Amino acid sequence: MTQSPWQPITPAKPARTPKEPLNRERIVDAAMRVLVESGYEAVSMRKVAQALGTGPASLYAHVANKRELDQLLVERAAAQMRYDEPVDPARWQEQLKAMMREMLRAMRANPGVARAAIGAVPLGERALMSTERMLTLLKAGNIPDQAAAWAVDLIPLYVTAIAFEETVQSATDWTPDDVERFVSGLRSYFESLPADRFPLTVALAGALTSGAAGDERFEFGIAVIVAGLASLAEKNPAS
């Protein structure tokens, strides 16, 4: 029936755009955004829910708690690691170093993930695949079982610590000039210490305050770790 001319026209309601279903992938995407924009301390179930335009209760149907969310963040970084080259027993040391560099690259690509990884045992499939490859490299180098088991804890701990330190430093508003002034002041402080009580600190003041920029220090660390592991290699491993 035609509407009477004196009746007000009711505007048609706009069709609602259906919400994209919530799933783990979207939750991790949102958590990553919060992590990069506001830092690890800001990542909570409530904040992630806000970023998704929903309530925290809806997240618990997909993620059990904050601890599991941390695992998923670490798993996201682990999924970005690439190891295309097959394990070569003759090159296990160089391949292990390359793996450590790749771990750092993945953490740098996901600022803040290092904080989620500290103190956690990564249990996601991709993280476990990285552990498996590391063990394969260590056994290819004839590293004893217990040493290999400890190494797959030590190595990620070292890489994670480097990545976390970089995250903390990047959170400051220091300019390169600020850093240079700080390092110069630190060197001067070491040089001013009583030489009779701190003779080596005074003598090595320059070395103690150099090489902090870039990857030089990181490369030193991975060289020391791999050389130490190589020294433990069994000469005549059981078949």
Q: pLDDT digit string (tens) for 80-112?
A: 999 878 999 999 999 999 999 999 999 999 988
Class of domain 24-63: mainly alpha
* Segment 178-195, tens digit of pLDDT: 878 888 999 999 999 999
Q: Which amino acid is at 76?
A: R
Tell me the mean pLDDT in the region 13-21: 61
Q: Where are the domains of the chain?
A: 24-63, 85-230
Chain-centre distance for alpha carbon 167: 9
* Segment 150-171, tens digit of pLDDT: 999 999 999 999 999 888 877 6
Predicted local distance difference test score (pLDDT) of residue 119: 75
Mean pLDDT of the chain: 88
Predicted local distance difference test score (pLDDT) of residue 72: 93
Closest residue by Cα to residue 65 from 50, 34, 43: 43
Query: Among the listed ranges 13-27, 31-45, 65-79, which one has the minimum average pLDDT value?
Result: 13-27
Question: Where does residue 71 rank: exposed (0-12), middle (13-18), buried (19+ CB within 10 A)?
Answer: buried
Decide: 121 and 103 in contact? Cβ < 8 Å: no
Residue where the block lists tokens 């035609």: 2
Closest residue by Cα to residue 76 from 112, 41, 38: 112
Topology match between the domains 24-63 and 85-230: no
Q: Which residue has the higher pLDDT, 1 or 114?
A: 114
Tell me the mean pLDDT in the region 15-38: 82
CATH hierarchy code of domain 85-230: 1.10.357.10
Q: Which residues, including other chains, have CB under 8 Å from residue 154's CB and lie 6 or more apart?
A: 225
Residue percentage of the chain with pLDDT more than 90: 63
User: Is residue 63 pLDDT above 70, yes or no?
Assistant: yes
Predicted local distance difference test score (pLDDT) of residue 239: 46
Predicted local distance difference test score (pLDDT) of residue 233: 94
* Segment 134-143, tens digit of pLDDT: 999 999 999 9
User: Is residue 13 pLDDT above 80, yes or no?
Assistant: no
Chain-centre distance for alpha carbon 205: 31
Predicted local distance difference test score (pLDDT) of residue 236: 64
Tell me the mean pLDDT in the region 52-61: 90
Residue percentage of the chain with pLDDT more than 70: 88
The Cα–Cα gap between 155 and 169 comes to: 22
User: Is residue 124 pLDDT above 50, yes or no?
Assistant: yes
Helix/strand/coil for 3: coil
Predicted local distance difference test score (pLDDT) of residue 95: 97
The Cα–Cα gap between 171 and 220 comes to: 25
